């Protein structure tokens, strides 16, 4: 993947009348919106897509649908698939199915809840790498998994499996990022920020882009920020970061994708429906979010 790439972790829209029915009309609208506002790649069935409450059949259907919409509209946007699981056999199966159904790459999260040690992580990701030929991006998100993949494990995986191509790092462990960038600088290994607010700082220590939530709303601006950075126009990049920072933080005041779905509902792009156990914002929280949207992106609400 090219340097300073914008990947959007796409939500899964549900019908206003039924949170257990995917709204494919709204999904198409969002896919085309993302493709036209700077997203180089769309992540389907990630946390932002409510993968914990999607069936595997729904996940594959979303992958197939996203590929179909992009192809029909001659869009060059790639599709990444959230194929991870804390069950290695399931992760292996979903990775193979992702390849069979046209994914361009997969995102594979560190196993959550069962908390494997580093040897267990090596075994888990090794089996996935052997199950498919797609580029694999490891997903380190300690706030959700309660474990963290360390640098030595990442080095082992990158050096032993040619299709392990990168890392989504959703933490403030800049030492880890620096160590990885230094050790794997000669390899085709990409590092992506997993938090919008950390994108610019992470670019500064060698990250290749961001897997973003805010890009549903401000993809053009995030892409512009990365272009400025790449062209050594750091002050201009900082201006965009500072402008968007209130939005970045507002979108994570409740568990993702609660706030981004509310924002997209306010913008009339889809319903704000969530699947339980997630619940919608309170009226007060919704009003606070509206103010941020009005101030940050000049939304007319």
Per the CB < 8 A criterion, the answer to whether 300 and 269 are in contact is no
Catalytic residues, by residue number, are 139, 168
- Three-class SS of 36-70: HCCCCEEEECCHHHCHHHCCHHHHHHHHHHHHHHH
With helix as H, strand as E and coil as C, how does the chain read?
CCCCEEEEECCCCEECCEEEEECHHHHHHHHHHHHHCCCCEEEECCHHHCHHHCCHHHHHHHHHHHHHHHHHCCCCCEEEEECCCCCHHHHHHHHHHHHHCCCCEEEEECCCCCCCCHHHHHHHHHHHHHHCCCCEEEEECHHHHCCCCCHHHHHHHHHHCCCEEEEEECCCCHHHHHHHHHHCCCCCCEEEECCHHHHHHHHHCCCCEEEECCHHHHHHHHHHHHHHHHCCCHHHHHHHHHHHHHHHHHCCCCCCCHHHHHHHHHCCCCCCCCCCCCCCCCHHHHHHHHHHHHHHHCCCC
């Amino acid at each position: 993947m090219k340097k300073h790439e914008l990947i959007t972790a796409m939500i899964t829209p549900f019908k206003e009348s039924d949170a257990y029915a995917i709204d494919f009309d709204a999904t198409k609208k969002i896919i085309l919106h993302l493709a036209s506002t700077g997203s180089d790649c769309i992540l389907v069935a990630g946390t932002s897509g409510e993968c914990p409450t999607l069936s595997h059949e729904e996940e594959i259907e979303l992958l197939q649908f996203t590929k179909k919409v992009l192809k029909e509209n001659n869009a060059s946007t790639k599709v990444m698939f959230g194929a991870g699981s804390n069950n290695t056999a399931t992760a292996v199966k979903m990775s193979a199915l992702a390849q069979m159904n046209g994914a361009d790459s997969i995102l594979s999260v560190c196993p959550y809840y069962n908390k494997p040690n580093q040897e267990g992580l090596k075994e888990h990701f090794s089996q996935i790498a052997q199950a498919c030929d797609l580029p694999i991006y490891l997903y380190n998100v300690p706030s959700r998994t309660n474990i963290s993949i360390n640098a030595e494990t990442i080095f082992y995986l990158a050096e032993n499996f040619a299709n392990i191509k990168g890392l989504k790092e959703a933490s403030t462990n800049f030492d880890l990022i620096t160590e990885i960038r230094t050790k794997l600088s000669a390899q085709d290994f990409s590092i992506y920020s997993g938090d919008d607010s950390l994108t610019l700082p992470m670019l500064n220590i060698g990250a290749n882009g961001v897997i973003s939530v805010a890009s549903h709303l401000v993809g053009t601006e995030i892409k512009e920020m990365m272009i400025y950075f790449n062209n050594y126009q750091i002050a201009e990049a900082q201006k965009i970061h500072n402008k968007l920072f209130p939005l970045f933080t507002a979108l994570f005041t409740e568990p993702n994708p609660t706030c981004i779905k509310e924002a997209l509902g306010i913008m009339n792009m889809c319903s704000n429906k969530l699947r339980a156990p997630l619940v919608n914002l309170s009226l007060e929280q919704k009003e606070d979010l509206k103010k941020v949207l009005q101030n940050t992106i000049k939304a007319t609400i």
